[in-house]
Structure 1
Amino acid sequence: MLTTKNFDAGGYRYIPAVFQYSSGVAALPGYRLERVRFSRLLPMAEGWARIRAHLGALDRPLTAFAGCELRSNAPFSEGGFRDFNLGYIGTLREWGILEGEDNPVARSNVCPELAPPTESGFHAFTYTVPDADAAPSFLIAGGAETGKGATLQERIIAYDDTSPAGMRAKALQTLGEMERRLAAFGFGWSDTTAVQAYTVFDLYPFFLDEITRRGAADNGLTWHPCRPPVQKIDFEMDCRGLGREYVLKA
């Protein structure tokens, strides 16, 4: 059973994970989560500046930053992904969000297959706003078809197998991980307002009997033709339950 921790300075709780991100966030009582999608992808430096300005305009502290959705040029090696994240978490330290390697911010970072960006950037971000009457809200971070193992090859389900059977196995692992994260906050698929899948391989063969059957597509499913951020990983999902979302002209 996954556990959660409170991040009182941000107004949310989170599921601890690896240093790059948490596995998900949920607003604490008295707060709601809001999501903003940029109208175009913003390079990292520009994105951080726009997020800072947006939070300032709402009179919210930088610690209210709770989640982000990134896009990168191509899947990283394990070492390259760690190097990228060292730069990313540097800003979180400056903003008073990260202490040690305990990172409360939920995140996805995927790689568009067609017309990829020349550099990593922000697609969307999520933050908390005080609201005494808010309904529960949450954001589950991107999760892929990985399990336990000493090496990446051991951790990836159906390693190097993108056949229909292999993709089904990958999806089952990922769906199960989404359900574990949802359950940690006391939620299920019926509480989601949006579910997103990231893969360049065909998900239709298991869309009805695996994804739709369990309620993960009750509000439809957004399929992004993107690869997960680490080489050899082929299927990723995230989901959220939010009452307010906006598009910010960029």
Structure 2
Amino acid sequence: MSTSFLPGGFRFVPGMFQYSGGAAAEPGFAIERVRFHRPVPLDEGFKRIEAYITAAGRPMTAFCACELRSPAPFTDQGFIDFNRQYVGTLERWGLFKDEVNPVARSNVCPEIDPPAGPSFHAFSFTRPADNAPPTFVIAGSGEAQEGGASYKERIVRYGETSPDAMAAKARHVHVEMERRMNVLGVSWPDCTATQIYTVHDIHPFLGEDIVRRGAARAGVTWHLCRPPVIGLEYEMDCRGVRAEHVID
């Protein structure tokens, strides 16, 4: 079941403290995505996002999703420490409260030419829009069961990167994408973009496990990136939006 976040004009899939499983615009609103031409360091990115959303006449509670780039995968504890720093600004913006975070997020690590520190790649926010089609952003997910034990204990086929293992990891992620979309009342045909993050070959399962299930109706964008935690090998996110902008 999704949860409404009325101050932002969207509903979300409840998740962990660092991010929600996805966000979808409520009736009367639409989600827009804004991508930086080059990654912007975290602190500067928060300032530029605040300026952009404010200039658009929207409250900061309209911030509903973001995409991050980090230098290298974190340890479990390192990821927790980073996330605590990250949610501090969301708390100031009126988004994060009592360990509940409505903002969807992806955070991945470029294999080539990574940023010097955690940086913003893109963000999304809501605007008023009459009679708009469904718009949504599904948060990135890697091949690990949610909650509980360490990542090592939860990762599907931990330590394996054979074609068969990668296909199993991908299937787990694809099912999770579908679960999150189902909670928000959308599905693959509603997507306008699908993004995959891995340094391993996706071609052995691209046809059967991605295209045939409908996940590539708008094509697939493959980023040569690693997921954000050591041991994860495959991540995906997707979205359905009608307005996207690129800014310097």
TM-score between the two structures when normalised by the length of structure 2: 0.98
The alignment partner of 2:130 has SS state of: coil
For residues 139 and 56 of structure 1, the distance between their equivalents in structure 2, rounded to whole angstroms, comes to 21
Query: Once the two structures are superposed, what CA deviation does each residue of 1:121-176 show, in whole Å capped at 9, x if it has no partner?
Result: 00000000001221110000001111266332221001100000100000000000
- 8 Å CA contact 2:76–2:150 kept in 1: the answer is no
Matches within 5 A, 1:70-109: 70-109=68-107
Q: Distance in 2 between matches of 1:43 and 1:243?
A: 27
Distance 1:222 1:233 in 2: 19
Distance 2:70 2:151 in 1: 20
Once residues 81 and 49 of structure 2 are traced to their aligned partners in structure 1, the CA distance between those partners, rounded to angstroms, is 23
CA distance in 1, matches of 2:191, 2:219: 11
Deviations 1:165-211 (A, max 9, x none): 10000000000000101111111111100000000011110000111
**Paired residue type of 1:218:** R
The aligned counterpart of 1:38 is 36
Written as runs of structure 1 = structure 2, the 5 A alignment for 1:161-200 is 161-200=160-199
Report the equivalent of 1:133.
131
Moved more, 148-157 or 110-119: 148-157
| Gaps in structure 1 of 5+ consecutive residues | none
One-letter code aligned to 1:234: E
Structure 2 counterpart of 1:225: 224
AA partner of residue 170 (structure 1): K
Letter in 2 for 1:5: T
Runs of 5+ unmatched residues, structure 2: none
Distance of 1:15 and 1:138 partners within structure 2: 11
Question: What is the match of residue 58 of structure 1?
Answer: 56
**Mapped partners of 2:214, 2:41: distance in 1:** 35
* Structure 1 residue aligned with 2:209: 210
Q: Distance in 1 between matches of 2:93 and 2:145?
A: 32
Residue 155 of structure 1: aligned partner: 154
Query: What amino acid sits opposite 1:171 in the alignment?
Result: A
Encode CA deviations 1:36-70: one digit per residue, 9 max, x unaligned.
00011000111111101101111100100000000
Residues matched between the structures, number = 247
In structure 2, give the amino acid aligned to 1:215.
G
CA distance in 2, matches of 1:40, 1:150: 35
- Say if 2:141 and 2:237, in contact at 8 Å, map to a contact too: yes
1-structure distance, mates of 2:101, 2:152: 26
Task: State the distance in 2 between where 1:85 and 1:40 align.
Answer: 22
Q: Distance in 2 between matches of 1:223 and 1:60?
A: 32
Q: Secondary structure at the residue paired with 2:7?
A: coil
Q: Aligned partners of 2:185, 2:84: CA distance in 1, in Å?
A: 32
Following superposition, the deviation at residue 16 of structure 1 comes to: 0.6
How high is the sequence identity, in percent, across the aligned residues?
Answer: 53
What is the CA–CA distance in structure 2 between the aligned matches of 1:81 and 1:189, rounded to whole Å?
Answer: 30
1:2-17 alignment runs, 5 A limit = 3-17=1-15
CA distance in structure 2 between the partners assigned to 1:40 and 1:30 by the alignment: 32
